[in-house]
Structures are given as structure tokens and as C-alpha cells.
Copies of this chain bind each other. A is one copy, B any other.
Amino acid sequence: MEDLALPGQFELPVDNDSQAPSRAERRDQQIQRILDAAKACFIRSGFQGASMHQICAEAGMSPGALYRYFPSKEAIIRAIVEADRKQDAEKFAAMDKNPCVVDGIVNCAMDHIRYTHENGNAPIFAEIATESLRNETIREIGDYCMDEVQHQFRNYVQAALDRGEIDPVVELDALLPMMMAIGQGLAINGLPGKGVSYDRIEKMFRATTAALLRPTRKCDPAKN
């Protein structure tokens, strides 16, 4: 008879350097635990396919306990989508540190591709994109955060355009959605999983980006 769950508070690993976690701290930990469990289930079975009982089991928690933290399945999905998109947005925040647009975009995108692939995040990404097409609530959250990324992109590209560094094939209003779409295709498809190496992906992505932005001069002769 192994590991039968007893009532009462679940025992979390003890952090020796600090005292017992406060009420609020513990709450945050539990919320995170639920979100991690839910994410794992959603990756395995999708938003609709994963059941609350499965999420409870994965989190090592009873339904009664879980429902003290989230009022519904929808709320969990919303939280996951929001967290995931926020994380994406942060990934692209460092972009405009790079003085060369093409490099800035390529480096950030490659970081994102690497991260997504190594963490098995592609299914969640795909799930959000698909669910956005039919669930308005999800679409709103997704779009809100996606717009954030697109705005960062836009400002960054617009600045380069103002500086005369690039001569894009079309106006930015058409160009940015195109680049987002390409990025989405790459994220979902998981090229690294199909045996395409990162430096091949980078090479192609750089060529693609350059073709769309058409840089008018080299930024840094040291780079390629």
C-alpha cells in the first residue's frame, strides 16, 4: 500500500534555509502546482480532452482542494494561455537591444524556437492557436498578448525603417502579420523534431527575414 493520500495539507519539500511558508506563499505554490499539472495534461490531451480528474491526479490533489483555487476549468485554461503568452512576450522584449533589425529578429526568434522545442511547448502553442479560432475568450487573451509582441516588433521595425536601414517589400501593416504567421508555423511544426538542425533553421529564417525587410546596408561587417 504505497503513498495513500491522507486528508489535510499536502506536504511540500522543505526549504531548509527558511521558515515555514506563509499562507499567501503556500497559496501561490499550490496555484503554480495546479498550473503545471494542467499544462502537462493539456499537452497530453488538449484543452477539451483533458479532464479535471486527470488534472487533479497530476497535481496530487482532490477536486475539492483544486476548486478552492480555480472556480472552473475555463479559468485554468485562461490562466495557462495568459501565462504562456506573457512568457512569449517577455522573450521578445530583448529584441530591440540589437542595433541590426535582421539580427535582432532572427536571434529572438531562434531563442524562442529553441525554448519551445526543448520544453515541449509546441502542443500548447498549437492548442492556443486552434482554440483561438473558435473560442472568443481564448482569442481575446491570445490576441491581447500577441498584439503586445506585434507592437514590439512594429516599433522595432518602424525605427529601422525611419533610419533608412531597410526597404520592406510591403507596408508594415501587411508585413508584420506575415512574419507572425511564419513564426507561428515554425513554432507549431517543430522543425528540430524533424531532423532540421538549428543552424539550418537560422540560415533559412535569416534569408526569409532579409527578403521581407530588404536591408539597405550591412549593419556589422563582423557578422554575416
User: Residues of A with Cβ closer than 8 Å to B?
Assistant: 43-46, 48-49, 122-123, 126-127, 129-131, 133-134, 169-171, 173-175, 177-178, 180-186, 188-189, 191, 194-197, 200-201, 203-204, 207-208, 210-212
Contact = CB atoms under 8 A, between A and B. Distances in A.
Most buried by B among A43, A123, A174: A174
Contact of A197 (B174, B194, B212): B174
20 contacts: A45-B134, A46-B48, A46-B130, A46-B134, A49-B134, A123-B130, A126-B130, A129-B188, A170-B200, A174-B196, A177-B189, A177-B194, A177-B196, A178-B201, A182-B182, A183-B185, A184-B185, A184-B189, A207-B211, A208-B211
A204 B175 contact: yes
A-side binding surface: helix, strand, loop or mixed? Answer: helix
A183 B189 CA distance: 10
A170 to B, nearest CB: 5
Contacts of A123: 130, 133-134
Contacts of A203: 169-170
Contact of A185 (B188, B195, B197): B188
A185 B178 CA distance: 9
Nearest to A178: B204
Contacts of A133: 122-123, 126, 188
